[in-house]
């Protein structure tokens, strides 16, 4: 997460600093309306820049994934950029409309405007003639984009509707790009801030077209069909085994993929619950009944049904090189650890797993399914993993203090956590208070894509 925070702040800083270098009016303006004109430019540039960067991340590019620590972290940055665009866009709108309202109420009076020099350049004349249109387009598009962003941030807004409406932000960006192109201060285009804004506008427009055509991640998609369905009613999960068509590049234990069984619902992310075996084109996902879509999967999915798979993504791959690891799984967060245990068991059977690695797996759950827990215990035994099962109703909750009591040499290990975000944050904070180097050795998957 450190790289995500740094990248977010650095992006805003570079945009603002480049704008300051170009804005020679900052030291000469003397009245409110002149300052307003200056900061309308800054707020607009920052808002459209954040929106463009968010759209580029929505393409799910692979090259920055390692830097950010996985696509899950990139989606966190995507969310922050969207929130920043909403806030900055609101500031931009208030700067534009607020003085007009104040003037209508008699609270603010504007002095006479200086005479404008005649425009002889045909390009500048064209842009000038479009000012009124660009302002109207920007205002009404802002209202629509703000509504779409607010809906995207509401957890109760159904995913299937989110999938359909969120893509409309690409249309909004195209309209706002026109607004920016016309209304960005003309002298900026001859300076680095103009070049940066132009690059962001072009990149955002290209990303918008790709997203509207539903081609994001198209090069990493393969078809599969369902070969087995196994429900575990006690923990409200469904194990889905798929056979992949040619083209799947293989995956590491701990990675995830997007699966789409219903085009109207769109793709959903699922951690892969099986390791990759060359020559065996099967892949397993485990779906937990957490919402409308996943609650209906048991009735909607059938053996033989086609499913589109996109991936793999993620860097929650256990490869930190440490001989001592502690795995903590909360509920359905057990999935990446199941894949890793299968991978370890296969390697141990072949005789090529490194000797000396010691791993404790702590699985906390509020629900119990004896068959599922029996499978988990068998997987742990086959991989030589020490399993600690905590059922909240009878065994209580896991805390940092309890983890340290269970595993005395905890300070020598790296911690891999997958589960509820708040649970992970509390555990991380507790360990940090004990001097544990969480930035280097606490790995957490942020499995929230909106």
Q: What is the pLDDT of residues 423-435, one digit of tens each?
A: 999 999 999 999 9
Can you give the pLDDT at residue 120?
60
Can you give the pLDDT at residue 119?
62
Answer whether 330's CB lies under 8 Å from 423's CB.
Answer: yes
Can you give the pLDDT at residue 1?
73
Can you give the pLDDT at residue 222?
96
Q: What is the CATH number of the domain that holds 242?
A: 2.40.30.10
Q: In angstroms, rounded to a whole number, what is the distance separating the alpha carbons of residues 101 and 114?
A: 22
Q: In angstroms, rounded to a whole number, what is the distance separating the alpha carbons of residues 17 and 15?
A: 6
Q: Range of 261's domain?
A: 220-313
250 in the same domain as 143: no
Q: What is the CATH number of the domain that holds 125?
A: 1.20.120
Can you give the pLDDT at residue 423?
93
Can you give the pLDDT at residue 216?
92
57 in the same domain as 117: yes
Q: In angstroms, rounded to a whole number, what is the distance separating the alpha carbons of residues 417 and 331?
A: 11
Q: pLDDT digits over 152-167, tens only?
A: 999 888 888 888 899 9
347 in the same domain as 284: no
Q: Which residues of the chain have pLDDT under 50?
A: none
DSSP per position, 325-359: EEEEEEGGGGHHHHHHHHHHHHHHHHT-SPTT-EE
Last residue of a domain, one of 313, 345, 377: 313
Last residue of a domain, one of 161, 194, 212: 212
Residue 318 lies in a domain: no
Which residues touch 306 (CB under 8 Å, ≥6 apart)?
A: 223, 224, 225
Q: In angstroms, rounded to a whole number, what is the distance separating the alpha carbons of residues 442 and 434?
A: 13
CA 170 to chain centre: 17
| Cα dihedral sign, 22-23-26-30 | positive
* E strands present in 200-305: 221-232, 237-244, 256-260, 268-271, 282-288
283 in the same domain as 256: yes
Q: In angstroms, rounded to a whole number, what is the distance separating the alpha carbons of residues 368 and 361?
A: 17
Q: What is the CATH number of the domain that holds 368?
A: 3.40.50.80
254 in the same domain as 368: no
Can you give the pLDDT at residue 156?
84
Residue 450 lies in a domain: no
154 in the same domain as 50: yes
Question: Which among 431, 450, 430 is positioned nearest to 441, based on CA atoms?
Answer: 431
Answer whether 173's CB lies under 8 Å from 137's CB.
Answer: no
Cis amide leading into 312 (omega within 30): yes
Can you give the pLDDT at residue 159?
84
227 in the same domain as 189: no
Can you give the pLDDT at residue 441?
95
Count how many domains the chain has.
3
The angle formed by the CA atoms of residues 319, 321 and 323, to the nearest 5 degrees, is: 115
């Amino acid at each position: 997460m450190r790289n995500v925070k740094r990248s977010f702040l650095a992006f805003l800083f570079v945009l603002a600093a480049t704008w300051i270098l170009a804005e020679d009016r900052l030291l000469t303006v003397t009245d409110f309306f002149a300052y307003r004109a200056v900061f309308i430019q800054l707020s607009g540039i920052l808002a459209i820049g954040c929106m463009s960067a968010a759209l580029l991340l929505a393409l799910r590019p692979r090259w920055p994934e390692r830097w950010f620590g996985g696509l899950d972290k990139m989606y966190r940055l995507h969310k922050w950029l969207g929130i920043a665009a909403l806030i900055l866009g609101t500031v931009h709108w208030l700067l534009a409309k607020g003085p007009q309202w104040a003037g209508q109420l008699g609270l603010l009076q504007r002095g006479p405007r200086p005479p404008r020099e005649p425009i002889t350049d045909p390009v500048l004349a064209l842009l000038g003639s479009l000012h009124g249109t660009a302002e109207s387009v920007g205002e009404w598009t802002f209202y629509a984009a703000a509504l779409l962003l607010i809906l995207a941030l509401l957890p109760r807004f159904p995913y299937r509707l989110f999938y359909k409406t969120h893509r409309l932000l690409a249309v909004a960006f195209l309209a706002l790009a026109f607004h920016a192109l016309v209304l960005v201060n003309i002298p900026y285009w001859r300076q680095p801030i103009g070049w940066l804004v132009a690059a962001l506008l072009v990149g955002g427009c290209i990303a918008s077209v790709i997203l509207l055509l539903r081609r994001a991640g198209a090069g990493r998609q393969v078809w599969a069909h369902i070969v087995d369905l196994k429900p575990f009613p006690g923990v409200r999960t469904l194990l889905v085994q798929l056979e992949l068509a040619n083209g799947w590049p293989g995956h590491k234990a701990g990675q995830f993929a997007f699966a789409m069984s219903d085009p109207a619902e769109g793709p959903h992310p699922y951690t892969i619950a099986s390791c990759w075996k060359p020559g065996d084109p099967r892949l397993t996902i485990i779906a937990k009944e957490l919402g409308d879509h996943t609650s209906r999967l048991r009735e909607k999915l059938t053996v033989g049904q086609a499913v589109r798979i996109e991936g793999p993504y993620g860097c929650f791959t256990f490869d930190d090189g440490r001989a001592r690891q502690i795995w903590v799984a909360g509920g359905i967060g057990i999935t990446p650890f199941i894949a890793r245990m299968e991978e370890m068991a296969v390697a141990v059977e072949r005789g090529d797993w490194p000797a000396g690695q010691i791993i404790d797996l702590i699985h906390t759950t509020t629900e119990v399914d004896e068959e599922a827990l029996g499978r988990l215990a068998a997987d742990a035994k086959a991989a030589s993993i020490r399993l600690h099962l905590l059922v909240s109703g009878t065994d209580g909750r896991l805390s940092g203090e309890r983890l340290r009591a269970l595993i005395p040499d905890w300070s020598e290990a790296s911690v891999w956590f997958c589960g509820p975000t708040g649970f992970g944050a509390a555990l991380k904070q507790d360990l940090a208070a004990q001097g544990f180097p969480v930035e280097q050795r606490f790995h957490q998957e942020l499995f929230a894509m909106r």
